[in-house]
Chain A
Amino acid sequence: MSTLRRGQVAHLARLAHIDMSDEELDRMSGELDVIVDSIKSISEAAGDDVPPTSHPLPLTNVFREDVVGQTLSNEEALSGAPDSADGRFKVPAILDED
């Protein structure tokens, strides 16, 4: 049964600023359904008495001391950027936030 409606996929695409055609939305809804259904099988294994966990390892308080370490140079930082100017990353203007 379809769990992800097409509208939800369109919504996610809009949030991610991804332009998707109708055909792509149809295909993606189907593909994501398969993934969601697979993950759903977890709920069969975990009953109400099992608290949800976000970390499978019994670790807490993994900290770093507040000491400055190695940084990238400006050239290194920008080396993977598709475009840059004035030592900064250059990106398209995005209008829906300020």
Chain B
Amino acid sequence: MTTTATTELMTFDDAIAKYDPVLGFEVHVELNTKTKMFSAAPNAFGDDPNTNVTPVCLGLPGVLPVVNKHAVEYSIKIGLALGCTIAESCRFARKNYFYPDTPKNFQTSQYDEPIAYDGAIDIELDDGTVFTVEIERAHMEEDAGKLTHMGGTTGRIQGAEYSLVDYNRSGVPLVEIVTKPVEGVGDRAPELAKAYVTAIREIVKNLDVSDARMERGNVRCDANVSLRPVGQEKFGTRSETKNVNSLRSVEHAVRFEIQRQAALLDGGGEVVQETRHWHEDTRSTTSGRPKSDADDYRYFPEPDLVPVVTDKDWIEELRSQLPEPPAIRRKRLKADWGYSDEEFRDVVNAGLLDSVEETIAAGASPAVARKWWMGEVSRRAKADDVEPAALGVTSATIIELNELIEAGKINDKLARQTLDGVLAGEGSPSEVVEKRGLAVVSDDSALLEAIDGALAAQPDVADKIRGGKVQAVGAIVGGVMKATKGQADAGRVRELILERLDVQA
């Protein structure tokens, strides 16, 4: 099963020249309700194994599940945000399979009657190209327990002697969002895959219905890929790559599958309809199990749960609670701030939209907010390998730094040192300036002393300036800044030098 024979790949460009990729996504979103889907056990991550469990989560005989109202409301909100129709009536179904991650031998899900269906969202790629992805359905279900395979190599099922099961995750509310086939994306397929999952993650985070942390499995993507010869209408056979759990790997997995399937088809082979596993380390997929009779889930309506019926009032109340959609918010902010496409995209990609918005709302100009967050703050974050927003810089810090600069109390260089102090916990920018003695030397007599020293040290430069080469003044300014350890206002120094030499600027 895990033969490590190298998989034949066609180059991506050749693959796209010959074949037209069709994509499909199933994204599972863990809701951040306080309790589980069908029981009052806490929905929490990271606790001791098998402590957030009730008899319902363990599938003990005689238990009765009861639906969490918040989970239903969160699911409706997701449906509305995806432009779906909300079902007037829907029901739960049992998806039967025998595997220890579910102690009941079935997963409670929805089958023929999902809570939301027929939606669409616009997905914008980096260069502004927009693709509309149609949503087939969004249905409610429950998460499974977590298995750890022991005795084999590195936690993998192959060669494992036994598995340990933790049911803390069992019954955590999930919404599964299923797209219709996504056609006509051509060579943008890998980018679209990443952008789609990014958008879903952003939407559920914005709705505050999920923590949306992919590294914790709050958002998980199964990516379906099939190829058909360019010009053919009929879909090819698809593979389903499971649990691609980072935005980057979604893009890589789709690209890999396109290249793999193209090589296979080109060599006269056939794509097998199967589950494939993504391996981040080798950036490749390997065959899981064929989609065959093991997928015979024998769904039937869940007799222990009654239908969920919605009415217009309920739906409209939930709709009124929806926040501004992320894509619309971005358009509004970009227009308000007057950033270029590139400037705005950089802010978004740095995860600094909220920080910049806050700083501007607190009174900074858009240019100042961007200068600090994208400049000094991002630089430090990169050096410390943390997210810029997690560095501990607040909008108040930035506004105060900027005020100090505008009042001429500090210059850019001193501002950076001031920020050092703030991040070291020495207090507000003003307090740091005070404590570290960072204020610019604004006393002209002190500056003139330094200027005379610099002129005396570079008499040839002084002569040039006197002779009219005003641009040479930079060397003298540099000397003064050095002498004052950077604590001078360079603009004022320049003025004073020219006055001293009696030269018109």
A residues sitting closer than 8 Å to B (CB atoms) are: 11, 14-17, 54-55, 57, 59-74, 77-78, 80, 85-98
Contact partner, A88, options B42, B50, B303, B308, Cβ 8 Å = B50
Residues of chain A lying within 8 A (CB to CB) of residue B302: 54
Instruction: Collect the chain B residues with CB atoms within 8 Å of residue A60's CB.
Output: 89, 306-309
Interface residue B52 (Cβ < 8 Å from any Cβ of A): yes
CB atoms of A54 and B301 under 8 A apart: yes
Most buried by A among B58, B158, B160: B58
| Chain A interface helix/strand/loop/mixed | loop
Partner of B294, one of A66, A73, A74, A97: A97
What 1/0 mask marks residues of chain B from 228 to 269 whose CB sits below 8 Å from any chain A CB?
000000000000001000000000000000000000000000
Given contacts A64-B40, A93-B152, 7 further A-B contacts (CB under 8 A): A62-B67, A63-B67, A66-B71, A72-B58, A74-B48, A88-B165, A98-B242
B91 and A61 form a contact (CB under 8 A):
no
- Complex formed: what's the CA distance from A97 to B160 in Å? 13
CA distance A93 to B153 in the complex (A): 13
Residues of chain A within 8 A of B71, CB atoms compared: 66
Tell me which of B95-103, B121-129, B218-226, B477-485 binds A: B95-103
Given contacts A64-B66, A68-B35, contact A88 B309 (CB under 8 A): no
Per-residue interface assignment for chain B, residues 155 to 180, with 1 indicating a CB less than 8 Å from any chain A CB and 0 otherwise: 01110111111110000000000000
Cβ-based interface call for B107 (8 A): no
| B322: min CB distance to chain A, Å | 19
Residues of chain B within 8 A (CB-CB) of A15 are 96-98, 293-294, 296
Enumerate B129-168 residues with CB–CB distance to A below 8 Å: 148-152, 156-158, 160-167
Contacts of A59 in B (CB 8 A): 306
Q: Does B453 contact A (CB under 8 A)?
A: no
The 10 A-B residue pairs with the shortest CB-CB distance in the complex, in nearest-first order: A69-B40, A54-B301, A66-B70, A63-B69, A88-B164, A93-B160, A89-B165, A60-B309, A64-B66, A77-B50
Chain A residues in 8 Å Cβ range of B91? 54-55
Question: Which residues of chain B come closer than 8 Å to A74, judged between CB atoms?
Answer: 48-51
Indicate if the CB atoms of A86 and B49 lie closer than 8 Å.
yes
Q: How far is the CA of A15 from the CA of B97 in the complex (A)?
A: 7
Contact A89 B72 (CB under 8 A): no
CA distance in complex: A95, B289 (Å): 10
CA distance A89 to B351 in the complex (A): 40
Q: 1/0 per residue B285-303: CB within 8 Å of A?
A: 0001100011010001111
- Across-interface contacts of B66 in A (CB, < 8 A): 62-64
In the bound complex, do residue A64 and residue B288 qualify as a contact, i.e. CB atoms below 8 Å apart? no
A70 to B41, CA, bound (A): 7
Whose C-beta in chain B lies nearest to the C-beta of A77? B50
Question: Bound state CA distance, A86 and B99, in angstroms?
Answer: 20
Across-interface contacts of B277 in A (CB, < 8 A): 98
**Chain A CB within 8 A of B33 CB:** yes
B184 located at the interface, meaning its Cβ lies under 8 Å from any Cβ of chain A in the complex: no
